[in-house]
Each structure stands twice: as C-alpha cells, then as structure tokens.
Chain A
Amino acid sequence: EDQVTQSPEALRLQEGESSSLNCSYTVSGLRGLFWYRQDPGKGPEFLFTLYSAGEEKEKERLKATLTKKESFLHITAPKPEDSATYLCAVQRFYFSGNTGKLIFGQGTTLQVKP
C-alpha cells in the first residue's frame, strides 16, 4: 500500500536556525513527489515537484531533495514568515487501474520565532 510519512509532526526554530523536514514514502513506481506549503485558513500552495532520485529544486530559503525512499525540505536561515505547515505528496505512474492521484502525508507544522 502506498504510504507517505512526514517527520517531525511539529518543529520550532529560532529565526536563522536552519533545519530539514523529512518525507518518507513507499510507493510502487514513483512518478513525482510534490511539496506544498499551507498557511492557516488557506489551501495548499505548490512549492516544488521532484521526479527522480538526486534531483534538487530551490526557491529562496527552501531546497528540496529526493532519494529513492525519501525527500528532504531544507530550510536555510528561516524567517518568521516561513511559519506554515509543509505537506508532501507522491504520485504513482498511471496505468490501467491506477489513476495517478496524489497521496499526501500528514504534514510538518513549522514555527519560526523571531
């Protein structure tokens, strides 16, 4: 069964204190892994898509990496405005019987204190 596990559930950092969020997955035939950011009262906002092991994507203070079993979201010198819940999701290759829907992890809630 496809499964996505994110850790830690919650993370509190001081402004400027770098850290990483983990997304472990088990899926048959990974087509893509997606990272989203969700602010309270809002819908998830797309950040990155990673397709193959070794791939990296960057956006401002965020960098996402992918291995065959997990993905990391590295946050460098975070600011209070980076506080949010970060969700990862996996998508399998689609074929007969598999429609390629996204399977989300439970998320990591990040709080960055000034």
Chain B
Amino acid sequence: DAGVIQSPRHEVTEMGQEVTLRCKPISGHDYLFWYRQTMMRGLELLIYFNNNVPIDDSGMPEDRFSAKMPNASFSTLKIQPSEPRDSAVYFCASSREKGQPQHFGDGTRLSIL
C-alpha cells in the first residue's frame, strides 16, 4: 500500500505569501493529523480530522493557519499570510482508528524568507 503522500517536499517563499501544503492519507484511514516539527518545540500536533471533520484544532497557532479536508483522500494546510517564524517541517499522518499507530508522510520543509 502507498504511504502518506505530502506535497511539495520543499517550499521556499517570501514573507506575506500564501502557502498551501497538501496531504493524501493512506486509503481506509479515518484519522488525519497535521504536525509541525522544529528544533525548539519538537513535534507538535496542529489539528486532526476524523472522517473529514476537524476534531481538535487547539494546536493551530493562530488565525493565519487553516486546514481543510474536503474528502477522505485529500487535506490541505494553508498559511496566509506567512511569516518567517512559520519556517518548520510540516508532517501529515493518518491512522485507521484513534488509538492505532499513526503513519507519517515525509513532510514538507517550509522556509519563509
């Protein structure tokens, strides 16, 4: 089976620009998670969905961040406007059920200049 697929792998853009990160979860997985990883804060959960519905968005840093899951095979994380402090690696993960292990994509390395 194909794993979690994220795109792009790398994104470099200027401050103030809109950034859209994309994720395709593993087929049949009902839970989708967005994480951010930095040296200072480690791996932090931003938001997660169950059956395309956002369940916990308490980790979303501020209103500049938004996430959608229009169907079971696609999700986006959008930052608008972007700021240098948003630079990080963003991971998407999916799991079959809530208590089951999460399977991660290889991430998007985002650099905001």
A1-54 interface (Cβ within 8 A of B): 31-32, 34, 36, 41-46, 49
Contact of A31 (CB < 8 Å), options: B4, B93, B99? B99
Is A71 located at the chain interface by the 8 A CB criterion? no
Closest-CB distance, B54 to chain A (whole angstroms): 11
Q: A104 near B105 (CB under 8 angstroms)?
A: no
B79 shortest CB reach to chain A, Å: 20
In the complex, per-residue mask of B59-71: 1 if CB is within 8 Å of any chain A CB, else 0? 1000000000000
> Are B99 and A102 in contact, CB atoms less than 8 angstroms apart?
no
Task: Tell me the number of A-to-B contacts counted with CB atoms below 8 Å.
Answer: 44
Give, as a whole number of angstroms, the nearest-CB distance from B50 to chain A: 9
**When the two chains form their complex, are residues A41 and B43 in contact, meaning their CB atoms are under 8 A apart?**
no
A104 in contact with B42 (CB, 8 Å) = yes
Nearest Cβ distance between residue B15 and chain A, in whole angstroms? 25
**Interfacial chain A residues near B107, Cβ < 8 Å:** 42-43
Establish whether residues A101 and B45, one from each chain, have CB atoms under 8 Å apart when the complex forms.
Answer: yes
Q: Chain A: residues with CB nearer than 8 A to chain B?
A: 31-32, 34, 36, 41-46, 49, 87, 89, 91, 94, 99-102, 104-107
